[in-house]
Structure 1
């Protein structure tokens, strides 16, 4: 695994959902705050995203927008005043395409891919915490090529509903989420894009995330990163915000919480997968970090 994959896997639960909507004329629809993450892709036309408490965002053909905290928002054909926002139709009306206005076949139609992911926010990787309320990824020539391919594939599957689409669509939605976050990190603004762009910190994180159960030490990790122990400690701590071994302990226990939530593996197996030699040592560390036992945590997550 790697940092982005682990960060997404730790919070994602259940199956994502999506639908394809085509509307025209004057329209305005509201999506209530959601305990997860939402996204929109403009396949055709243009519209406006009006997030609660945020600035309006103009969306054009091919634009992608991610709302990683499920922020309530309105989508409309044009910027809307307060009265129009209050009268916005619930998004559920869109699922059947019954939105007032001209025929969707008319000129000026807008076609959207809309979806959402269920997320467990109890233990969130700082990379996910740093995502802004609205991540706007404009469609620019040569930018985010893999994201464009995922959007095209998802749009095709939703439009055709061919054999195997029940498997293909959720998989493509997971891929889309990874590509949206990857595209945000590539923009280079923020702590974690800087972390992943630093050769020393990134190499150390790759090593830790690829083999969480290994008997890591500062010396061994420094060798993996190709620097001295002092250099690793200084750069990693400055960028990540905690020393390498402290990060390792925190992530081992966070990943263990994901295993307790998503699997029925016995405690000894979970302990072994995250680098603890005995269930007792693991339980002690887990209780110290979470304030509850692994068994109680698993029961609460069921």
Structure 2
């Protein structure tokens, strides 16, 4: 029997992989919560992504400016890509305690176990403050909604996600000597897999999804992410997208939020930052590796993007 594959789905998967592979976490603050009802917590906005995984029980999440809560039940995951402030409670209408009173200090690399007082049904929650490398975040990330819910149906498409979450949700993981790096990489994997699952399921009205599902724009994004070192121009990217120059430029900006030239420059700077921090590549080899034919042009672009020189960035 001849196997039939969905080429569109494979292309989408290739693009998601290319977009999310560079994401790196610099640190994680992990906390395990045991909360008998009644309880309520109000968290201010954070400069990191936030992850909530409900191991048992259920909770209601309310975002600023909204009155209708989102329920997260056992086995489900909520990801706040931009660290948007929100309220958590065992049910809507509870009195809320500021997070700062419960956990005033939440350093990257730290872990805490929090047990609240109460006599009602217990909710067990794993929380992660995910401090990511802003230089490695694709531009399209900025168009994600304030919260992404990854339910068990969506997790089934990423079997490794459920496995890693279950391991992280075990309190023993927090008490193992030398587990900091393992925990960091496990949360990094959860971060990327949860984004993959959520992006695959977002409604078609989301700009990020429209860009990923537009045949021409998707082809150009994949080209930029995987072949950034090539001498791309607006004309050659439009040719890659099978679109006219003017239609490509306008559609790309509408869906992605920046011009093709800016997106390409961001991707090249993203790779330059990775090479500087993760490899011993000589500085002189860097411009050509990321698509610049002029060392002067590369250094000017790098300083404009990061506010410093490649040498100082590496230090």
Q: Normalising TM by the smaller chain, what interval?
A: 0.7 to 0.9
Number of paired residues?
290
* Residues 222, 229 of structure 1: 8 Å contact kept: yes
Match of 1:68 in 2: 81
Corresponding residue for 1:18?
30
- Give structure 2 stretches of 5+ with no counterpart: 1-13, 106-110
Where does 1:1-302 land on structure 2 (aligned, <5 Å)?
2=15, 6=19, 9=22, 12-55=24-67, 56-80=69-93, 84-86=95-97, 90-91=102-103, 95-102=112-119, 108-121=121-134, 125-137=138-150, 139=151, 142-147=153-158, 149-159=160-170, 160-161=172-173, 168-186=182-200, 187=202, 188-218=204-234, 220-222=236-238, 224-226=240-242, 232-233=248-249, 235-257=251-273, 259-260=275-276, 265-287=281-303, 289-290=304-305, 292-295=307-310, 298=313
8 A contact 2:216–2:240 mirrored in 1: no
How far apart are 1:117 and its partner, in Å?
0.8
Unaligned runs of 5+ in 1: none
CA distance in 2 between counterparts of 1:6 and 1:253 reads 14
| TM superposition score normalised by structure 1 | 0.77
- C-alpha deviations, 1:248-301, integer Å up to 9, x for none? 2343234434545666644323322211124222113334x43845248627xx
Task: Find the residue that maps to 2:126 and give its secondary structure.
Answer: strand
Contact 2:234 2:261 in 1 (8 A): yes
Q: Is the 8 A contact 1:31 1:91 kept in 2?
A: no
Distance 1:87 1:253, change over 3 A: closer
Using the size of structure 2 for normalisation, the TM-score is 0.74
Cα distance in 1 for partners of 2:281, 2:66 equals 43
Deviations 1:135-155 (A, max 9, x none): 233x26x43424564134322
